[in-house]
A = this chain, B = another copy of it.
Amino acid sequence: MQVLVVLAHPDDASFNHAIARTVCETLDANNHDVVFLDLYKEGFDPVLPAPELSRDAILDPVIERHCKILSDADGIVIVHPNWWGMPPAILAGWIDRVFRPGRAYRFVEGDKGEGVPEGLLRARVAIVLNTSNTEESRELEVFGDPLERIWKNCVCDLCGIPRFQRKMFRVIVTSTYEQRIDWLNETRGIISAFFPAG
């Protein structure tokens, strides 16, 4: 399968980078084709300009390339830290600009845009791997875990991806080396469960 791996973290030495490397290595070992987008390394511009609001916009070649990569993926793995209950802006804007009407979803004929969209992505599974410095109980009770709704309900369900799995690694800031090794092993297990050796 062709699997798109998207990473959004500014620090090359971060645990997010270690997770993304582990994802790519596991997919490769399982004989999948990996397309890896390190949005910070790419210098991706997340600010959607006014002309792109139009459904018929002529796209910047960079955005066109990202749209095609997204459309071609059989599976998607997203890696990012939890910043204010959202992905980092570079990834929020990747969604804003790349998950376009007519490419990732469409409205049914005759609908003016307020209706229920139909998902267009071919990907059958999306996995979101997050890091956080907030304890689970506090995340659920105090913050309400908006990332779960954003990725599962707002993005993946809407774009027609039927299988969704999310794993939050926490608490990063106080974790030991051994804990992180365990988390990378857990990452290998999740990836191999959804994308087994073919």
Contacts and interface: CB of A to CB of B under 8 A. Distances in A.
B133 A143 contact: no
A10 B49 contact: yes
Contacts of A85: 146, 149-150, 153-154
A193 to B, nearest CB: 26
Q: Which of A10, A84, A89, A113 has the most CB of B within 10 A?
A: A89
B171 A114 contact: yes
A116 to B, nearest CB: 7
A29 interface: no
Size category of the A interface is 35 or more
A142 B153 contact: yes
A46 interface: yes
Contact of A143 (B10, B145, B153, B171): B153
Interface of A: 10-12, 40, 46-50, 52-53, 83-90, 92-93, 95-96, 99, 112-114, 116, 133-135, 138, 142-147, 149-150, 153-155, 157, 171, 173-174
25 contacts: A10-B48, A10-B50, A12-B50, A46-B46, A46-B89, A47-B90, A83-B95, A84-B96, A84-B99, A85-B146, A85-B149, A85-B153, A85-B154, A86-B87, A88-B93, A89-B92, A92-B92, A93-B93, A112-B174, A113-B173, A113-B174, A116-B138, A145-B149, A146-B146, A146-B149
Contacts of A134: 114
Contacts of A144: 149, 153
A42 B161 CA distance: 37
A52 to B, nearest CB: 8
Given A112-B173, A173-B112, A93 B89 contact: yes
Question: Closest 7 CB pairs between A and B?
Answer: A89-B93, A146-B146, A85-B154, A46-B89, A10-B50, A144-B149, A113-B173
